[in-house]
Structure 1
């Protein structure tokens, strides 16, 4: 049986992996097998962390809203409950941005929530 050498397709596949591993440290960027393992692991982390990034940002927004709400004399849950009763549909990303960029507008939101809780 003739010896099967690495032809065009094999070389192209290996070069693609080595291209993706450019910038990795040491053997991970030069040896095909090490590069393949490193690239596979990097892709797994990238897939997982695209999901985790969304959770992390939502958590950050909630922390910021809670801190600003407490300065306005409310807890996070009370503020969100009051805004829901008031029919205010503003997402957490925007509220967190308001808390940092425009505290007076955030205070008005807190007042709206407080009025709904009192009623």
Structure 2
């Protein structure tokens, strides 16, 4: 489209407005009634929905972190070690696992998590570290690294 004067160019809102409205109507397609057909109503509802979607993404991340922490804490209590002691022992042993990996191991591979907890506890005992963050003692079973070693497990399976 060719414009001979700047005034005509400024007054022309055609194609850009059509595509802008079309984008909003596509986002409002699943709404009912005027919320989907009337632009002034649809644009308010679409903007509100996009704000909720943005907040929901952050809340989903936080919910997953809370779930991972709960799983790890529960598994740590089974093995008589605190979460802080587990993380500190694994860090000192150069075992760099994040929350998601630890929670997956705690939920789906408890023997592997038991070995990691034993390694962390052994490293903490060697270093003489005292966990002062949690005064309440866990009520699980005491771990010993020799009890969960791979060689002992292999000997049991060969028999």
TM bracket (short chain): 0.7 to 0.9
Answer 1 or 2: which has greater helix percent.
1
SS at match of 1:97: helix
Greater than 3 Å deviation, 4+ residue runs:
4-9
Q: 1: distance between equivalents of 2:25 and 2:107?
A: 44
**Which residue in the other structure is 1:28 paired with?**
35
Q: TM-score, normalised by structure 2?
A: 0.65
Which protein shows a greater Rg?
Answer: 2
SS at match of 2:97: coil
Structure 1 counterpart of 2:52, from 38, 45, 48:
45
Query: In structure 1, what is the equivalent of residue 130 of structure 2?
Result: none
CA drift of 1:90 comes to 0.9
Q: Which residue of 2 aligns with 1:10?
A: 17
Count the aligned residue pairs. Answer: 116
What is the RMSD computed on CA atoms of the aligned residues?
Answer: 1.9
Larger deviation, residues 96-105 vs 69-78: 69-78
Counterpart check, 1:68 vs 2:75: yes
- TM (normalized to structure 1)? 0.84
